[in-house]
Amino acid sequence: MLLQRLTLCLRVPKFSPRHKCRLLFRPLTQVRDYTAPQGRATNSPFAHRTELRQAKRIVVKLGSAVVTRGDECGLALGRLASIVEQVAMLQNQGREMIIVTSGAVAFGKQRLRHEILLSQSVRQALHSGHNQLKDISLPVLEARACAAAGQSGLMALYEAMFTQYSTCTAQVLVTNLDFHDDQKRQNLISTLQELLCMNIVPIINTNDAVVPPPEPNSDLQGVNVISIKDNDSLAARLAVEMKADLLIALSDVEGLYNSPPGTDDAKLIDIFYPGDQQSITYGTKSRVGIGGMEAKVKAALWALQGGTSVVIANGTNPKVTGHVITDIVEGKKVGTFFSEIKPAGPTVEQQTEMARNSGRALASLHPEQRSEIICHLAGLLTEKKEEILAANKVDMDLAVNAGHLSPAMLKRLSLSPAKLNSLAIGLRQIAVAAQESVGRVLRRTRVAHNLELEQITVPIGVLLVIFEARPDCLPQVSALAIASGNALLLKGGKEATNTNRVLHQLNQEALSLHGVREAVQLVSTREEIEDLCRLDKMIDLIIPRGSSQLVKDIQRAAKGIPVLGHSEGICHVYVDADASMDKVIKIVRDSKCDYPAACNSMETMLIHRDILRTPLFDQLIDMLRNERVKIHAGPRFASYLTFSPSEAKSLRTEYSDLECCMEVVDSIQDAVDHIHKYGSSHTDVIVTENEDAAEQFLQQLDSACVFWNVSSRFADGYRFGLGAEVGISTARIHARGPVGLEGLLTTKWVLRGDGHTVADFSEHGTMKYLHENLPVGQPLAGKRDSN
């Protein structure tokens, strides 16, 4: 068995003979010089979460609450296994992982209790002649004895778990004296350096079997010294001594709160800065362990000052434990990140709070005032045209030089005087509609005498609109949010950074007209989209504008926030047997060739089999060839041809280019069935002169937009007369199709009474419910009835 363990520990991956020679002949007291990873200055912590991906040497501190079970007797094996898996995965990526762990006391307590119970039961059985275990009591177990009994078992458990991932571990027990004595400290650091060099994960713990009880008033001492009184301070000291890039401290809370978790006003702090200590109110320490959040914060700040980045996060939540460490290393917004650099502007949480507060003021304005803001914004688009176009030229030049954007994306990014004039016209249409949006009575009912019920339109709340390289989206969406009284967060693509900044300045100038400047916010920080989608308590609706992949990513990430949009725009045009040749050519050309990258562009053309080998079919193919449209043949269409085009890999493809799929169907019903199976419920078209066939198509198809003898490109808010749209929704509830002003409103019920009427739901209730519908176009005339 011993030979097997030695063989396991000598199984050193990524270990060259050159390194082996250096290890054999170098004195143990020599400390290896460690240089910081490339891309990061030595002794300088990361400034932003996204930079954590560069972390090479990582210390993971596992608090007692993370390692132990709820009864404090024994280890949380499932939780520990998921943590080991993440550490092993990062280790196998080439990172250097160090674990500072608790748990020896809990593991030892479990073993000692078991031994004591077994011993007492045997003695009692021998004494009484039969098993009577009712009066067995357990003595108070001393922590040092528990630690002595639990250390070996804890390490054996770690070794067994890491072995599953072909990762070797080594145990290191330390005390405060190991850091105070220079020779011992150098030996410790040298040992850890050698272990890391051999791709071994050091598992470190305080030697609780011999350490004295912690001093209640001991604290961090000076700048260069920290007293080792718990595993928080131990992890901080080791991280600095080892020049680690990142310290991850896992506890039983989500991170650092501005007040004790569970209190009404407690808010999780995303980023904590050294100067913010005075704004924190600490609660009690965790159920186990000797530290608390205050000790964690002090240790974190000490490590940060020593050049190590720190994140405090929850390691006990079953929903995130399986990926909490890897999420932190990937730069995701998990727990509290400690940073020395405070950004000049507000955080996205602060922006959302400002937008909500100012949005409520926006909603309370008179409709004419909201219209005035939008009209002013429309005027600014033409007045500041040169400034907008100059900023857009900078973005275009950068995009062209980078070479990352497709021609279709470059077209979306580009602005022109004509585009700006068209935007201004659309905004003025929205301004007119804004006068009859918020507060409109949809239904008015006299429930009973002196009880009048109204259903009125109100804003949804805070909208988050995420759009890619399309700056014209910014003023459109802003105008719709203003008209509907909604607060708005805008997250634009980095390709349009300069254009978006100028357009947002115009937004704020227009909003300042009536003192609601903060109602629309442009998120310009390094926030990842996935992090924004986690603000479920602050954002009410997410609207993505961009590629199908963007929409899918947002729908996947926004688990607690509704998403309005469509993931794909697989639009069909069905050419019926009774179709007009001229109409077919015009509709198909416009649907496919006008703007191939648009979500309402035709992606699949279905043709009735009777059209094959007719002049109509020949002219249709010639037109597509002249427009340089690449045709992908569906299975049935390919079977009719001797030399067919390339066969479609899938009948559910959004090409977003001068490409389309062509397939043959036998009837209108076959076309409807095909669209239901392969479509995306976006926009589908029938071209026919047969009215009965058209009505069958329009009635049976359940897409958001269904057209007869009309191009699919008409699925657009501007062409529908909505002024503009925030997107096209294929959802089954709320707004559907092109979503304009109406889609950004919800309703609330208002009940007015005289204070003398109470609800009576008893079987023999005496209250008479009238449920009399009243006109909604004007307020009720005269006075309310009186009893």
User: pLDDT tens digits, residue range 325-356?
Assistant: 999 999 988 999 999 888 777 888 889 999 99
Q: What is the pLDDT at residue 345?
A: 79
Q: What is the pLDDT at residue 759?
A: 65
Q: What is the pLDDT at residue 344?
A: 73
Residue for token pair 């240790």: 299
Q: Is residue 621 pLDDT above 80, yes or no? A: yes
Residue for token pair 């419920």: 681
Q: Provide the residue type at 378 as one letter.
A: A
Q: Is residue 33 pLDDT above 70, yes or no? A: no
Q: What is the DSSP letter of 75?
A: B
Range ranked top by mean pLDDT from 33-37, 140-144, 425-429: 425-429
pTM, 2 dp: 0.76
Q: What is the pLDDT at residue 469?
A: 85
Inter-helix orientation angle 231-241/293-305, to 10°: 10
Contact of 65 with 286, CB cutoff 8 Å: yes
When mean pLDDT is compared across 149-163, 226-240, 269-283, 451-465, the lowest value belongs to: 269-283
Q: Is residue 75 pLDDT above 70, yes or no? A: yes
Enumerate the β-bridge partners of residue 101: 62
Higher pLDDT, 35 or 198: 198
The whole-number average pLDDT for the span 720-747 is 86
Cα 160 to Cα 179: distance, rounded to the nearest angstrom: 30
pLDDT digits (tens, 9 = 90+) for 625-683: 999 999 999 999 999 887 768 899 999 999 988 999 999 999 999 999 999 999 999 99
Q: What is the pLDDT at residue 62?
A: 92
The whole-number average pLDDT for the span 589-602 is 92
Which positions ≥6 away from 610 have C-beta within 8 Å? 577
Question: How big, in percent rounded to 5, are the helix, strand and coil portions of the chain?
Answer: 40, 15, 40
- Give the Å distances, CA to CA, from 281 to 256, 277, 335: 10, 9, 17
Cα 232 to Cα 222: distance, rounded to the nearest angstrom: 17
The whole-number average pLDDT for the span 279-298 is 64
Q: What is the pLDDT at residue 566?
A: 76
Pick the closest to residue 23 from 194, 242, 196 (CA basis).
194
Q: What is the pLDDT at residue 217?
A: 40
Higher pLDDT, 33 or 49: 49
Tokens of 144: 């040092």
Measured between alpha carbons, how far apart are the two ends of the chain, in Å? 94
Q: Is residue 135 pLDDT above 90, yes or no? A: no
Q: What is the pLDDT at residue 478?
A: 96
Q: What is the pLDDT at residue 758?
A: 65
Helix, strand or coil, per DSSP, at residue 657: coil
Long-range contacts of residues 735-739, Cβ cutoff 8 Å, at least 24 apart: 735/564, 736/704, 737/704, 737/705, 738/705, 739/543, 739/564
Q: Is residue 588 pLDDT above 80, yes or no? A: yes
Higher pLDDT, 450 or 251: 251
Q: What is the pLDDT at residue 350?
A: 87
Q: Is residue 751 pLDDT above 60, yes or no? A: yes
Q: Is residue 84 pLDDT above 90, yes or no? A: yes
Query: How would residue 357 be classed by pLDDT, with cut points 50, 70 and 90?
Result: very high
Neighbouring CB atoms inside 10 A of 785's CB total 12
Helix, strand or coil, per DSSP, at residue 553: helix
Q: What is the pLDDT at residue 28?
A: 35
Higher pLDDT, 525 or 432: 432
H/E stretch holding 464 reads strand 462-467
Query: How would residue 87 be classed by pLDDT, with cut points 50, 70 and 90?
Result: very high
Q: What is the pLDDT at residue 76?
A: 82
Contact of 550 with 466, CB cutoff 8 Å: yes
When mean pLDDT is compared across 443-452, 691-700, 737-746, the lowest value belongs to: 443-452
Would you mind telling me the total number of residues written for the chain in this entry?
787
Q: Is residue 22 pLDDT above 50, yes or no? A: no
Q: What is the mean pLDDT of the chain?
A: 83
Q: What is the pLDDT at residue 10?
A: 36
Q: Is residue 610 pLDDT above 80, yes or no? A: yes
Helix, strand or coil, per DSSP, at residue 194: helix
Cα 572 to Cα 601: distance, rounded to the nearest angstrom: 9
Exposure string (b/e) for 93-116, b if CB count within 10 Å is 16 or more? Answer: eebbbbbbbbbbbbbbbbbbbeee
Q: What is the pLDDT at residue 59?
A: 97
Share of the chain above pLDDT 90, in %: 52
